[in-house]
Amino acid sequence: MTNLSCQTLEYRTSDLVGVLDCLNQLGSPTLVGRLSEPLDEAKANAIFDGVYHVLLSLVKSRREQLSEIFPNLTGLLGPLFYCFVTEHQTVSRRQQTKSLNTHAKAKPFSIITTFAPLSDLAAQNFARLVTTLCTRPTNQAGKPSTSTFLKAFGKHAPYLIAEYLSIQTNPTASISKLSIRNAIVPGLYALLDLCGEHERDMVMVTLDLTGKSLFKNLYNDYLQYHKYTGKA
């Protein structure tokens, strides 16, 4: 991880793809069976923490190279939302198991999402990662960089917002723990900072009526508590 942030070392974009592919291996359905000892909640949180620090290091020190492989990056970030899902108590055990298995098979990080929801600290770190990704860095003079990174990433931000909303409209499991939802909100607001009308329309067309209502509420809260408060 130290090497990833070391500016004196040169990395090809293909090297970064390799790093992201290694993280993707956490989604292998056979990984749990190859572990030397069983996982528990503490270990799942520790694995998430490792993923977080690797991605944060890349975002901070390899931004321009990451702009060439945004699909690989967003392909990892989106499924991380599933680390904070809680199964609904009113759903039968059979439905809960089916829902959890569906998420685990369809998304990476199944060895982590099995123990969802992870800790509030993990949710805060996830939001910090997304916020850092969406924040314009400063140059040596302390002024905002003129990098085109954010403009390019803004085209991918709608997919992450849509991923979150698709989870929230799931009838069997969603991000329902209040402290976790509150922790994730700054990351969602940071994504909305990058979205203009066109990007918001992209999100809307992917949603059903419930999802559209949730998105409108999220956007109204964004305007009231973030954009027009000088935080954007």
Strand partners for 138: 144
pLDDT at 137: 77
**Global pTM?**
0.86
With contact defined as beta carbons under 8 Å apart, do 127 and 181 qualify?
no
Biggest distance spanned by C-alpha atoms of the chain? 58
pLDDT at 4: 58
Closest CA to 41 of 33, 49, 29: 49
Q: How many CB atoms lie within 10 A of CB 183?
A: 22
User: What Å distances lie between residue 138 and 60, 147, 148, CA to CA?
Assistant: 11, 10, 13
pLDDT at 101: 53
pLDDT at 25: 85
Contacts of 85 (CB under 8 A, 6+ apart): 103, 113, 116, 117, 167, 170, 173, 174, 175
Q: What angle do CA 174, 103, 214 make, to 5 degrees?
A: 30
Write down the residue that tokens 């969602």 correspond to.
188
pLDDT at 2: 43
pLDDT at 38: 85
Q: What angle do CA 200, 152, 197 make, to 5 degrees?
A: 20
pLDDT in tens, the chain (232 residues): 445 555 546 788 999 999 999 998 887 777 877 887 888 999 999 999 999 999 999 999 998 899 999 999 999 999 999 999 999 887 555 555 555 555 444 555 778 988 999 999 999 999 999 999 999 876 655 555 656 889 999 999 999 999 999 999 999 999 999 999 999 999 999 999 999 999 999 999 999 999 999 999 999 999 999 987 766 5
Give the pairing of strands 173-174 and 86-87. antiparallel
